[in-house]
Each structure stands twice: as structure tokens, then as C-alpha cells.
Structure 1
């Protein structure tokens, strides 16, 4: 599917969008849920002339469809990083149920992941973001230092995605002190721990190099930024849970299942990743027409 179709088909509501909107008060003004490729061109460039929008669109599609560029590989990574590939239809079910979603009937069917598995999933999200960043920006896939250096200037869709990684894959399953637990797990990983991860198995053809080395280098490069992100932006587990209770029916005895539920339900990497790749294409295209 081409990038214009992907952006045209992004949802305007549902569980993922509701979850992403939790960050409006944390990083205000950073994220608009841009849906529709032509609409995205108009919003990002400020152009209202239909002819100019059409020219930007054509150039962006040419760039996306060029196999020598990395945009399609970035989109593939963002799609594959979801724990189920298609989020198992949970997000679609949540959207159909409307504004309020009761998780109680689903949570009993889930098994909370061990902390080790959660930490590996968090590491894989970081690896995925690093590789997708490099592909989107025309860099070699293993340009970890370039990725780490760019994090401080992340904004818009990129910033919301980092906030989501820290929150939904770090704080919710592992607690506010997630980072120390995360580092403890990563320091003790073996090659097989990484190679058995479902995302790594699906995406290894898109990732540069050995899995354990990728994890070690990426976590080492971005550790300070990720570790300090929550405190720098005032993100706490209780604060996020309070916001989520506005659209997910949660009780205290079900909280241990929440991480597994969100892992299967949220599609934030693919959603915001698609928007980020589209933004990069549009900004490049408008400069080339």
C-alpha cells in the first residue's frame, strides 16, 4: 500500500488515538492526528493551492516508491513492531464500542508478561525507532549515534511516539522506576533472548547486524534520554492511569493485566510512524518541486 493510502486510512478515533491524546497535557501542541494525505500536505506546508498540493503529492509518492530510498523500509518496521502485527483486532473492537471501552471482560484472558519479556519489548521498540529513523533520513541503518543525537530535537509525531514508548512499554508494565529494571535486564541478555523476540524474528531482514549488539548499542546510546524522559515531562504511572480511566474501565485488581492488554491493543508505533514518514516525505517534496 502506498503512503498516501496509508495516511488516508489512519483512524480518527479508537483506543490508540485516545491513548495518544493523553499526551496533550504533557507535551501540549505537539501532536495533531493528521489523517488524509492531501490534508497532511496542506497542514504541514501551509499550502492551499490545489496545483501545488498535487505537485507535492506527486513528488512525495515518487520518493516513497523509489526502492533506493528508505521510506518503505521505515514503514515496514513500524508495522512489524506491533506485538501482534495487526493488533489482533482489539483496537478495531474498541473503536466500534465507542467512547468508553470496558477492558474487564478481556483482561482475564491475558497473562501478564514477566519483567524480562517486557524489558526486551521496550528494547526492541528503541531498536525499531532507531532503524526507522535512519531509513527515513537516508542514513545507514546502524547510524546509532545520529539517532541518539537527533532525539533531543524530536517533535510532533516523533516526540509523541517516544513518549508512548516510555509510557506504554516502560512505566505502565514496569512502574515509575522502570529504567533501572530495564537496564538490569538488558545487561544480562543473551543473544538467544533477543533472537527469540517476535519482532526481531519478523524484522531481522530490515535490521542491521547482530540482535544483541543492536540492543546493547542502541540502549547505551539513548539511555540517558529515555531514562530522564518521564521526569523531564512529568509522566507518572498514576497520572497516566488516571487519564486512561476516562476511556478504559479499570479496577485495582486488574492493573497487573493492563500492560499485556495495551501491548495487544495499541497501534501507536505504526500510527505515528506512518505520520512521521509522511511528514518527512512532504517536507522533502516541497523543497524539491
Structure 2
């Protein structure tokens, strides 16, 4: 067995590129995300309790729930971690591809690395699928409960809302441009099982994707969230330039190299795993507190 949920939460960083970038995105969902680190502190924040004995009971029950393989909490953490690890690999490949385009001597690299737009579109689709699957695992419902997931987005708050904001901004707008929903939808809609298997995240998680037609499910999941993402962008007046301007307040990046920025962020951040662990911890604590 891997690390305990207590250890995972206690080991989350308080600084670094991931934290810097998430703080830069506060303008998208103002005040929603607090980088809550430490399991005991998380218990106190979630429950409002400060009695050491009660906190210890809640912690023990949360650990029991997390360790129970009949529950989905460990699988949810694994999903968050797996998709972020794959995104980092994608960022490295995308940067190699850009080098191949800009320096003729290294042009051969284009034959060895995925085209960034297609790869980034599939990566965006996989993050949506993982968010759906993790939601289902955490809530103990079937993995194809797209309607339940879509309904829950309206109630997302805190680190979950920040995670969706980061998906839209960092995996959508920055690398794919203002029409990212259509661009990604086109790529995902034309994807086949074999083309999806070029994506590391898909290869790793496909066993958890429901049904026999995995490509169709990925497309269905992405399409179900498309309207929500479109409204999210328009309601906040988001664009690649607006996002970049806010990132530049925290990170030294050039404004004429959005494709490089997307690849750089893929390689240097793990916002998905970071906020995912925070989500799992909060849901565990909520349940443990209710059961004490």
C-alpha cells in the first residue's frame, strides 16, 4: 500500500510553481482556494472543531475509510496523480516539438513527439474524464454517472472549483486559444481507441473508463461539460491574454509564446494532483465527522 492520506496531505507543498500559478488564478474564482496543508489543520478547518480527542477520532475514521479498498478514495487520488504525471510528460514532448519547429537542425524531433494541439486537446479531454471518474469514486456511484457529475459542477467550491478553473485556463485557453472548446472537441470527436492510446493518461486509466467504446465515452464526457466551460469563460471574460497577464504577475513568461507557456506549465506544475488530494481529504473528513 502507498502513503496514508494523512501523509499525502501533510506533504503537500506550501510554496513552489504549482502554488504560485494557483494563486495567480485567484482572479478567476476569487477567494475560493486556500492552500490548506496538514491533515489536522484540514480537520479543524472543515469541521470547526478544536478538541484534540475529537480530532483524533475523526482522523482515525478518515484513515480507515481511505484504507478501505471497497471505497473509492485511494482510486480517486491515483486518478488525480496519474493524469498529472502524464501531463508533465506531455509538456516535455510539446517543448521538444516546438524546438523541432524553430530549429531546422532538430526538425527530426517533430517525427518523435506528438503535435501539441492534438496532444493538448486529448490531455484536456482526459482531465475532464478523470474529474468525472474521481467524482464518482469519491461519491461511491457508477463511473458513467455523467448527469450527476454535471449537476455537481454548479455546487463546486474551494479547491474543486479552482481545479476546474485551472483546467479551463491552463489546459484550455493558454495552449489551445480562445476557441479551445471547439478545437478540443473536434480532436476528441475524431479520436479512435488507437489514437487515444498515444496518450499516456488514457493508457494508464482506460481500465477505469466505463463501457467497451472508450473513445465514445471520452467524447461524451467532454461534450457534456462543453457548455459549462463556455459559460465559465464568458461569465468571467476570460481569454488567453487575460490569463497570461495575471500569470505574468507571478511568473516571468513571454506574452508572444503561449504555446511555450502551456508546455512549461505542464512540466512545472501538478495543480491537478495537489487540489485533488485536498478534495479527497475534505470529503473523507466530512464523512468521518458525520459518522463519529
TM-score, shorter chain, exceeding 0.5? yes
TM-score, normalised to structure 2, is 0.87
1:216 and 2:223 correspond: no
8 Å contact kept, 2:174–2:258: no
Instruction: Give the counterpart of 2:194 among 176, 192, 195.
Output: 192
Match of 1:97 in 2: none
1:251 to 254, 259, 267: 254
Alignment partner of 1:173 is 2:175: yes
Shift in alpha-carbon separation, 1:83–1:67, aligned structure 2, 3 A: closer
Unaligned runs of 5+ in 2: 99-114
The separation in 2 between residues aligned to 1:153 and 1:253, in whole angstroms, is 36
1:191 to partner: Cα distance: 2.0
CA–CA separation in structure 2 for the residues paired with 1:238 and 1:22: 14
- Does 1:228 find its partner at 2:214? no
Q: Which residue of 2 aligns with 1:21?
A: 23
Q: Is the 8 A contact 2:95 2:263 kept in 1?
A: no
| Distance in 2 (alpha carbons) for counterparts of 1:265 and 1:255 | 15
Q: Describe the SS at the equivalent of 1:196.
A: coil
Question: Match for 1:272 among 270, 275, 284?
Answer: 275
Aligned 8 A contact 1:190 1:212 in 2: yes
**Alpha carbons 2:132, 2:149 under 8 Å: kept:** yes
Q: Check whether the contact 2:185–2:219 (CA below 8 A) recurs between aligned residues.
A: no
Q: Does 1:123 align with 2:112?
A: no
**Residue 220 of structure 1: CA displacement?**
2.4
Q: 2:285 aligns with which of 279, 282, 289?
A: 282
Q: Give the deviation of 1:175 after TM superposition.
A: 1.1
Matches within 5 A, 1:23-42: 23-42=25-44
Contact 1:107 1:258 in 2 (8 A): no
The structural deviation recorded for 1:83 is 4.2
Q: Of residues 239, 243, 247 in structure 2, which corresponds to 1:240?
A: 243
Residue 81 of structure 1: SS of its match in structure 2? helix
Change in 2 beyond 3 A, CA 1:47/1:186: same
C-alpha separation in 1, matches of 2:80 and 2:93: 26
- Per the alignment, residue 67 of structure 1 pairs with 69
Task: Tell me if structure 1 keeps the 8 A contact 2:97–2:116.
Answer: no
For residues 74-103 of structure 1, the C-alpha deviation after alignment (integer angstroms, 9 at most, x for no partner) is 000000001447x47x9xxxxxxxxxxxxx
Q: Quick one: distance in 1 between partners of 2:78 and 2:49? A: 29
Whether the 8 Å contact between 1:83 and 1:263 is mirrored in structure 2 is no
Task: Tell me how far apart the structure 1 counterparts of residues 173 and 242 of structure 2 sit (CA, whole Å).
Answer: 11
Q: Which moved more, 1:19-28 or 1:32-41?
A: 19-28
Q: Give 1:253 shift.
A: 4.7
C-alpha deviation, 1:139, in angstroms: 0.7
**Aligned match of 2:10:** 8
User: In the alignment, which of 86, 90, 97 is matched to residue 111 of structure 1?
Assistant: 97
Counterpart-to-counterpart distance in 1, 2:93 and 2:150: 36
Residue 197 of structure 1, CA deviation:
1.1
SS at match of 2:249: coil
What value does the CA root-mean-square deviation take over the aligned residues?
2.0
Contact 1:84–1:264 (CA under 8 A) maintained in structure 2: no
State the aligned residue count: 272
Secondary structure at 2:50's aligned position in 1? coil
Shift of 1:29: 1.9
Cα 1:121–1:180 shift into 2, 3 Å: same
